[in-house]
Chains A and B, each alone.
Chain A
Amino acid sequence: MKTRLAVLGVTAAIACIPFLGASNVTLNFLIVALLIALAGQGWNILGGYGGQYSFGHAAFFGAGAYVTAILQVRYGVNAWVGFAAGIAAGALVGAVIGALAFRSGLKGSYFALVTLAFAEVLRIVASVTPITGAGVGTLIKLDMRPQAFQFQSRAAFFWIILVLVLTSLLISARLERTRFGAWLTAIRENEDSARALGVDVFRVKLRAMILSAAITAAAGCFYAQYFLFVDSTIAFGSWISIEALLAPIIGGSGTVFGPIAGALVVRALGEAAKLVAGDAPGIDLAIYGAVLVGIVAFAPRGIVGLVTRLSARLRSGGAEVVVRSGRHG
């Protein structure tokens, strides 16, 4: 209940930003950050709560983006219908990869590598097949009408992505209060124990993968509508797999607010780096790397964990916190 109120409060506060006279540059920054947050929310369900680290969430992001774009451009399907179909397509790709990987009992780095491989294969296939526009990519026709999911003002896009993020936050908050969520966390903590206590490990992982894929696919669908262009490196490239996992890990994996906190910080750092270093290629990636090392070394539960720890310390009057929460006890 408390989490749900916090979710609504935070979202309401963010929703007011366009009224404060934010510039298009600011809005654009926030939209992209929220897009990453959404992709990260998806990753966080499987990776943060379930402990299954995927390096290939681009597979779902790309499936969403391509299906949204191709249905409109090649089949004249309505953009909103295409959006929904894109989410479904992402979920389906998640189901297939999940079934194959989990049925063969892949865990840890093996699972990570297999997801990475799937995303890469999809990227290569998308870069040569005609239906995706091959190397040229797919351009969605400009059609500035709400029915076509295109808007004159950035604020409209901003609120739409915010609603999507809100939905994903509520799903995460709900996860923390249901049996499915508890079982998923149990699998992260100790798979054998979970099994012995009656958890159908395969089923729970697969369901988490489908949910996770659908949320990340929604981010892909939104990307297609916002930028009106998709090609194989955007859709299935490793950039989105990396951002989708960096945001929750830096923000606090397995927490409701981790991905959104992480996405804002990561994006802000990336922009700041560009201001300082100009457009030196890869400077943002170098910054991400440094932040990641810092987080892993000093705040294993990310920004959210750090804040909780500091606020607990403040409340206890500066005294050392007695019980250190955290995955490693």
Chain B
Amino acid sequence: MAEPLLLVDHVSQSFGGLHAVKSASFDVEAQSITALIGPNGAGKTTLFSIIAGFQKPIDGHVYFAGQDITGLAPHLLARQGLARTFQIVQPFVGLSVRDNIAIGAYLRHRARDRAIAAAEQIAHQLGLGRYLDQPAGTLTVGARKRLELARALATSPRLLLLDEVMAGLNPSEVRDLLPTIRAIRDQGTTILLIEHVMQAVMTLSDRIFVLAEGKIIASGSPESIAANAQVIEAYLGEGAALQYGGSRCTP
């Protein structure tokens, strides 16, 4: 097997007495769509923040393309090709959609004309073409989520970290976004997503890791995860697996 693009190696994080992440390890293969799921408060976003350089872990390492990137500043990671979106979208509200995406594009294109051209191309690809001149603050939730995605994509990342891009979307918007994300992967960008919308996770992912109480409790294909008793119990409580089916497996 080839070396994974991202390797999270026994990463731990704690805030005061709260152990948010406990020695979590997982990896993301190049060209894949990998999902990180888990109940609320499992530590997903913390783990994401650590990977993207917004937090330093108290223990463990993160490797990107074989290099140790633990604790590297976010802007340096962006230059190396690691981009993230925010769970709560963070647009530059006073700037137009075009300028919003251009900020990302400037990372690879110094000249304004080329950054703008790249931004417009990405906007069209993500279905934001008709909003180009609109201030980002006036967009609907769905469009804001796409904008968040577009900006990250404009930095030409090798690995894209998507933090709940589907949250807050209605079912038809989710359905529309799925092929877009798949297309991004097909163009060569590896994707790691945190997601609560199971429809999206199950249809998109090649591999799923389940985080509960700061620990990775299961990993595998969407089918095996759906049937995993431990996962069902993590979400629904102990004993739920017996009631709702799912194969008992010994840890």
Report A's interface with B, CB cutoff 8 A. 177-179, 182-183, 185-186, 189-190, 192-201, 323, 325-329
Contact = CB atoms under 8 A, between A and B. Distances in A.
Contacts of B155: 197-198
Contact of A189 (B92, B111, B134, B138): B92
A197 B93 contact: no
A259 to B, nearest CB: 19
B93 A189 contact: yes
A197 B107 contact: yes
B118 to A, nearest CB: 12
B44 interface: no
Nearest to B104: A197
A179 B75 CA distance: 15
Nearest to A51: B94
Contacts of A195: 54, 73-75
B83 A196 contact: yes
15 contacts: A179-B111, A179-B112, A185-B99, A193-B92, A195-B74, A196-B74, A196-B78, A196-B83, A197-B107, A197-B151, A199-B75, A200-B75, A323-B135, A329-B135, A329-B138
A1 to B, nearest CB: 12
Given A192-B86, A193-B151, A197-B152, 19 more contacts: A179-B110, A179-B115, A185-B95, A189-B92, A189-B94, A189-B95, A195-B74, A196-B74, A196-B152, A197-B78, A197-B103, A198-B107, A199-B75, A323-B134, A323-B138, A325-B135, A329-B135, A329-B137, A329-B138
Interface in B81-122: 83-84, 86, 90-95, 99, 102-104, 106-107, 110-112, 115
Contacts of B112: 177-179, 182
Which range holds the interface residue count of chain B? Answer: 35 or more
Contacts of A326: 94, 135
Contacts of B99: 182, 185
Contacts, number: 88
A144 to B, nearest CB: 46
Interface in B45-101: 52, 54, 73-75, 78-79, 83-84, 86, 90-95, 99
Given A179-B110, A329-B135, A190 B90 contact: yes
Nearest to B151: A197
A194 B135 contact: no
Contacts of A328: 93-94, 137
B52 A196 contact: yes
A193 B83 contact: no
A196 B86 CA distance: 9
Given A196-B83, A197-B151, A198-B155, A329 B103 contact: no
B191 interface: no
Interface of B: 52, 54, 73-75, 78-79, 83-84, 86, 90-95, 99, 102-104, 106-107, 110-112, 115, 134-138, 151-152, 154-155
Contacts of B106: 179, 182-183
A196 B106 CA distance: 13
A190 B103 CA distance: 12
A177 B115 CA distance: 11
Contacts of A197: 78, 83, 103-104, 107, 151-152, 154-155
Nearest to B92: A189
Given A178-B112, A195-B74, A197-B83, A185 B93 contact: no
Interchain residue pairs A-B with the least CB separation, the first 10? A329-B137, A198-B78, A189-B92, A327-B94, A198-B107, A193-B90, A195-B74, A186-B103, A179-B106, A197-B104
A175 B155 CA distance: 21
A328 B137 CA distance: 7
A232 B103 CA distance: 42
A195 B90 CA distance: 11
A328 B99 CA distance: 16
Contacts of B79: 198
B103 A194 contact: yes
A216 to B, nearest CB: 24
A190 B92 contact: yes
Contacts of B75: 195, 198-201
Contacts of B93: 189-190, 327-329
Contacts of A183: 103, 106
A231 B164 CA distance: 59
Which of A178, A186, A193, A201 has the largest count of B CB atoms less than 10 A from its CB?
A193
Contacts of A185: 92, 95, 99
A48 B39 CA distance: 43
Contacts of A200: 75
